[in-house]
Structure 1
Amino acid sequence: MAIKSFQGQRKKEAVVKKTPMTVKDYMTRKLITFKPDQSVEEVIETLIRYKISGGPVVNENNELIGIISEGDCIKHISESRYHNMPLTDKKVEQRMVKNVETIDGHMNIFDAANKFLNEKRRRFPVVEHGKLVGQISQKDILKATVRMKSQNWWK
């Protein structure tokens, strides 16, 4: 005697498209960068023109050597005025932050969010094989979470 199954046909499981969740997936790749021999005034004009708050400083090999920010430029203006010196005498390499903390492009986006909170930074450069490949900002983290809101919050 044959046994019949009363389960019926099984539905195929829906394929859930996983949203990428790494820094590399959300970082900005087209960056405005600065050179160490540029004047601080050029930086100020660029920050204003492109409505950015700072940017990486790279050498001729696209290796990250520093970051310059609005704050660095304001400090330059303040000191120049205090000493009654012209603004044109300083180069980026004299005002940039040289010890730059970077972030791994393969880091999970939520671990990156925690790094932003702990380090109190607005942006982190992403470096691969010694070359600058991108930058992630706090705003990029926010954009990532908006894209993932229909997904689970874990990987």
Structure 2
Amino acid sequence: MHSIKVKDYLNHRPVTFSQDMRIEAAVEKLLQSGQSGGPVIDENKKVIGFLSEQDCLKKMLEATYQNESHSVVSDVMNAEPFCVSADDSIVQMADRMTVNTPKLYPVCDSDGILVGVITRAHVLLALDKYLHDNYESGHRYV
């Protein structure tokens, strides 16, 4: 049977941020990467927060009104990131993603060290591949 674990589909080289990075630099990284957000990590690659496009948008809008910006990532990041395990099931991730709003989750080891990220697109790809593999092997779905 085809493996459907997070570790088989995650992005091992996600865009990451440091807490002292200026918001403008973080926005540039997001725009260049095409990611909707990313983990904020410390010098040991431990996940200490999460920065989303929405977080950046709020701060950039505020800076536009004030005609200046002095914000850094730690000012706007979610300081309670929800990490998932590389051994988590893709099916469980899909279920979680239908209820919760994050489009991207940091994948961490048991010490909170970043391993990668998993997105809705990765989960869809995994489910699609699983269904195609089962269909081609003769299984029919009702």
Q: Give the TM-score normalised by structure 2.
A: 0.87
- Aligned counterparts of 2:21 and 2:103: Cα–Cα separation in 1: 23
Residue 13 of structure 2 is matched in structure 1 by: 30
Residue 94 of structure 1 is matched in structure 2 by: 75
- Aligned counterparts of 1:33 and 1:114: Cα–Cα separation in 2: 25
Give 1:85 shift. Answer: 4.5
Residue 15 of structure 1 is matched in structure 2 by: none
**5+ residue gaps, structure 1:** 1-17
Quick check: 1:130 aligned with 2:112?
yes
- Aligned residue for 2:63, secondary structure, equals helix
Equivalent position amino acid for 1:73 in 2: C
Give 1:78 shift. Answer: 1.7
Residue 22 of structure 2 is matched in structure 1 by: 39
Match of 2:36 among 46, 53, 59: 53
- Aligned counterparts of 1:115 and 1:107: Cα–Cα separation in 2: 11
- Aligned residue for 2:49, secondary structure, equals strand
- Aligned counterparts of 2:90 and 2:64: Cα–Cα separation in 1: 42
Contact 2:6–2:89 at 8 Å: present in 1 too? yes
Contact 2:4–2:90 at 8 Å: present in 1 too? yes
For residues 16-40 of structure 1, what are the alpha-carbon distances to aligned partners after superposition, in whole Å with 9 as ceiling and x for unaligned? xx21111111111111111111100
Matches within 5 A, 1:100-111: 100-111=81-92
Equivalent position amino acid for 2:127 in 1: T
Structure having the higher Rg: 1
**5+ residue gaps, structure 2:** none
Give 1:117 shift. Answer: 1.1
Equivalent position amino acid for 1:51 in 2: G
- Aligned residue for 1:101, secondary structure, equals coil
Give 1:130 shift. Answer: 2.2
Higher helix fraction (1 or 2): 2
Aligned pair count reads 134
For residues 91-148 of structure 1, what are the alpha-carbon distances to aligned partners after superposition, in whole Å with 9 as ceiling and x for unaligned? 1111111111111221211111001112221011111022111111100001112221
> Sequence identity, in percent?
29
Residue 97 of structure 2 is matched in structure 1 by: 116
Quick check: 1:140 aligned with 2:122?
yes
CA RMSD of aligned residues (A): 1.6
- Aligned residue for 1:55, secondary structure, equals strand
